[in-house]
Amino acid sequence: MKTKYYQLTGEQALAELNSSANGLTDAEVKIRQEKYGPNVLESKKHTTLLQKFIAQFKDLMIVILMVAALVAMLAGEVSDALIIFLVVILNAVFGVFQEAKAENAIDALQEMTTPYSRVKRNGVVMQVKSDEIVLGDIVLLEAGDIVPADMRILESSSLKIEEAALTGESVPVEKDSSVLNEKEPPLGEQSNLCFMNTSVTYGTAEAVVFATGMQTQVGHIATMLDEVDNSVTPLQKNITHLSKVLTVLILIIAVVIFVFGVMTGRESVLDMLLTAISLAVAAIPEGLPAIVTITLALGTQTMAKRNALVRKLPAVETLGTTEIIASDKTGTLTQNKMTVEQLYTDHNLISADAFQVSPKKRLAQIMILANDSQETPDGLVGDPTETALIQYYLDRQMDVKQVQNDFLRTNSIPFDSERKMMSAIVSHAGQRYLMTKGAVDEILQRTTRIEDNGEIRPITQADKDKILNTNQELALEALRVLGFAYKPLTEEEEKREATSDNFENDLIFAGMIGMIDPQRPEVKDAVAEAKSAGIRPLMITGDHKDTARAIAIRLGIIQPDDESGVITGRDLDAMSDEELKQNVAKYSVYARVAPEHKVRIVKAWQAHGKIVAMTGDGVNDAPALKTADIGVGMGITGTEVSKNASDIVLADDNFATIILAVREGRKVFSNIQKAIQYLLSANLGEVLTLFMMTMLNWSIFAPVQILWINLVTDTFPAIALGIEKGEKDIMKKKPRGSRSNFLSNGVGSSIIYQGILEGVLTLGVYWIAINYPFHESSAQIHADALTMAYATLGVIQLFHAFNSKSIHGTIFSKETFNNKYFNIAVLASAVLLAMTIFVPAFNSTLHVTTLALEQWGIVLGAGALMIIIVEVVKFFQRKFIYKD
């Protein structure tokens, strides 16, 4: 059974670890280093670059591309095969680069540890490398130190430790050596323990090490990171599904054509094999992976301009499917800095912005003088609560330095967790004063007078009741409340030793303030927009339940009357995974949670088929960031661990940027869907044309003609569709969810009817050319017919590209020509297609003839019919099927 060191006294902890107050001997240290190993974080062995590269070729679409390249090579199109191979290799190289970056998560954890620590060994204090620390070592801590291991505090003086990166607690936690009798206190409430990689912000301590390396709390997180499988994104699922469908389609059609031709004896086995190969080339959208990658890459550029840096390309599209955003509070929804929000003085509660600051006001003097923070060229240094008091006046252009010079500090009584206050003794104009700040109830117990509008009078019970009631109101709003008092010292008091008993009594109450880690100003609107887009925002924090609830109400995550929407980590511990799954939809706010809780929450929502985005900035967020469908790290306040575990990093730490990224993600999916509709309907048209030509015993396209049409008419317009502007109502629609795919929302049926229509129109033009010839020569008639069919197939696809700019919207709108890159792409494709017919040098290479003006009229007429028929179908779709 694992020892619970927070339940042991210091002496018991030392005995349990076979150590003493004088520390370990050199011999004991050597034995323990051999037994437990170095105090470092480990990770699974990284795969080599070659292994990563080979793994990229396991994807089904990549396999299909390789087959397509081999088919093209067999068909004699070596250049096309080389292009396909180049696309495959570039995709593989990019995949290796992304995977190698992701493996930095554990390495970043190791880099966070402090290189040296002060320990007591052989009864002597010495400095050693942190990775040489062992169980039982006595470590000395002071402000500015990084805690090198998990330790039980033996002695402490005014100790405060910043644990935000581990627990999510927004302010430093007070620590001491008192025994805890609770059975399973949350990590953030284990006040006699300190944990690896947290930082000391105030005071000193002596502690004994009880866990090192992978056995520490941060080591536990490292283990979770290694155990978490990289989730498959919706984009990857969709591409895989599409690949399987296309594979089956290709095999069936190729086999049918080959068998039909051989059985009827129409062609030789070799000729029918080449025909089947041509069909396979027509069916495979070899440009699809490249188009998807380019569209995603363009999306990443747009998002980067809006401060969302994408580490993994599929994450762009995944954001568009997001249904749940589980956000860490501290530093993500809030600013991760304490800020004065309310001030109480002269029996009035005044907002921080409305308070008239003045160096002559006693409350201002105490806030500045009963303060240990220091101003440096890099800014204020010290306890975040104290630096916030100084920053409040600096922001209001008050000369803080002048106040400190006018009231010279001569002595102080440090903060103590038992009496919950601290005092400074200052001298001004020959008079010494005691300036005190601390917990309101403790201050009132030592107060006999009150300053009321410049007058000092005895404090009454009514005064105290009003102060305590106001204190409670502020606390219910999740504000951290501090009281302030002072008194002029008598000559007799000035001679006394500076202790609490000698000075902190008979105080004059000057006022109190309410502080909070405030929400980011833009977050409330971002939360509202997320809800209008059908996305449910959740808050996950290490803060207390009341604090979390108050912030959630301010942001609109929950309503004021929602009493059941908040749950604590302790409540989660009492639930099984199945119970959490059944009840997870009830909760929008999770308080006092540990890292494993965050992973459980994400998995509970995923069990309902939801796409979950998790935001965070601390070490404690990394496992959940990796488990979520999309992890969003913070670029400014985020640890390297959280960044490396994320798919997207916010350069401005702004929650609102997530919503901008969601909008971009939805646009990216919509554009990829348009490109897929265009590509597959065009390829289906090609397949159907070849299939029917074979069955009808007509002349068929040569492989080089199919490849040229694919290269010219497919690639450029499809890429341009990837940079279409987002539709105006894109954030008014509900998320697609995990069950949607690229063929949803009528895209699959549109591909089928539009592909059939392309094939029918192409075959119709061929039939017209055969039955109403422009020449008498049979050979010339068939050559013209095949050329007209070739031109028709290309022209129809270019006309159809404009149809594909909107899945259900009309082509007759001002948005039709709003994408200059698309217009250029279609024009360039048209020129390249026309060159093969108009330029004699290309005629023999692509087996085409020069067409007369009347023949071009028939070809263009077929293209116009494509637009007209699709527009009619879309009209009925909008009217009867896809009504918004």
**186 compared with 238, residue with greater pLDDT:** 186
For residue 345, give the nearest of 335, 332, 354, 333 by alpha carbon.
Answer: 354
pLDDT score of 409 more than 70: yes
Residues 871 and 760 in one domain: yes
CATH number for the domain spanning 159: value is 2.70.150.10
Last residue of a domain, one of 653, 673, 688: 653
232 within some domain: no
Average pLDDT over the chain, rounded to an integer = 83
CATH number for the domain spanning 553: value is 3.40.50.1000
- Residues tagged active-site: 328
**769 compared with 809, residue with greater pLDDT:** 769
Residues 297 and 285 in one domain: yes
Q: How many domains does the chain have?
A: 5
Residue 37: other Cβ atoms inside 10 A = 14
Give the model's confidence band at 712: pLDDT under 50 very low, under 70 low, under 90 confident, else very high: confident
258 within some domain: yes
Give the model's confidence band at 110: pLDDT under 50 very low, under 70 low, under 90 confident, else very high: very low
Q: How close are the terminal C-alpha atoms of the chain, in Å?
A: 60
Among 292-296, 474-478, 650-654, the range scoring the smallest mean pLDDT is 292-296
Give the pLDDT mean for 713-733: 80
Beta strands in 373-506 (DSSP E): 374-376, 379-381, 408-416, 421-428, 431-438, 447-452, 455-458, 480-488
Beta strands in 278-416 (DSSP E): 308-310, 324-328, 339-345, 348-351, 374-376, 379-381, 408-416
Residues 445 and 400 in one domain: yes
pLDDT of residue 458: 96
pLDDT score of 64 more than 80: no
pLDDT of residue 112: 42
240 within some domain: no
**396 compared with 742, residue with greater pLDDT:** 396
**426 compared with 645, residue with greater pLDDT:** 426
Give φ, ψ of 342 to 5 degrees.
-135, 145
Question: Which residues have CB under 8 Å from 696's CB, separation 6+?
Answer: none
pLDDT of residue 105: 38
Residues 572 and 465 in one domain: no
Give the pLDDT mean for 362-366: 95
Give the pLDDT mean for 96-122: 59
Task: Give the pLDDT confidence of 3-44 residue by residue, as tens digits.
Answer: 889 999 999 999 999 999 899 999 999 999 999 888 887 655
* Residue 370: HSE in the Cβ half-sphere, 13 Å Cα cutoff: 27
Domain range for 149 is 5-43+109-219
For residue 622, give the nearest of 588, 606, 590, 598 by alpha carbon.
Answer: 598
Residues 806 and 697 in one domain: yes
pLDDT of residue 224: 64
Residues 490 and 548 in one domain: no
Q: How far is CA 69 from CA 57, 66, 85, 275, 472, in A?
A: 14, 5, 7, 16, 73
pLDDT score of 113 more than 50: no
Beta carbons of 163 and 541 less than 8 angstroms apart: no
18 within some domain: yes
622 within some domain: yes
Residues 457 and 471 in one domain: yes
Last residue of a domain, one of 595, 620, 653: 653
Give the pLDDT mean for 788-796: 94
CA–CA separation, 571 and 563 (whole Å): 15
Beta carbons of 649 and 640 less than 8 angstroms apart: no
Give the pLDDT mean for 850-864: 93
772 within some domain: yes
- pTM for the complete prediction? 0.66
pLDDT of residue 512: 96
Residues 32 and 152 in one domain: yes
pLDDT score of 590 more than 60: yes
Residues 395 and 277 in one domain: no
235 within some domain: no
Give φ, ψ of 433 to 5 degrees.
-130, 150
pLDDT of residue 203: 85
755 within some domain: yes
pLDDT score of 149 more than 80: yes
Give the residue carrying structure tokens 């869907």: 673
Give the pLDDT mean for 116-143: 90
CATH number for the domain spanning 434: value is 3.40.1110.10
pLDDT of residue 348: 92
Give the pLDDT mean for 789-793: 94
Residues 585 and 639 in one domain: yes
pLDDT of residue 108: 46
Give the pLDDT mean for 868-879: 90
Residues 423 and 461 in one domain: yes
Residues 613 and 696 in one domain: no
pLDDT score of 465 more than 50: yes
Give the model's confidence band at 256: pLDDT under 50 very low, under 70 low, under 90 confident, else very high: confident
In one-letter notation, the amino acid at residue 470 is T
pLDDT score of 339 more than 50: yes
pLDDT score of 230 more than 60: no
Last residue of a domain, one of 484, 516, 548: 516
pLDDT of residue 111: 46
For residue 284, give the nearest of 245, 255, 318 by alpha carbon.
Answer: 245
pLDDT score of 440 more than 80: yes
Check residue 506 and give left, alpha or beta (phi > 0: left; psi -120 to 50: alpha): left
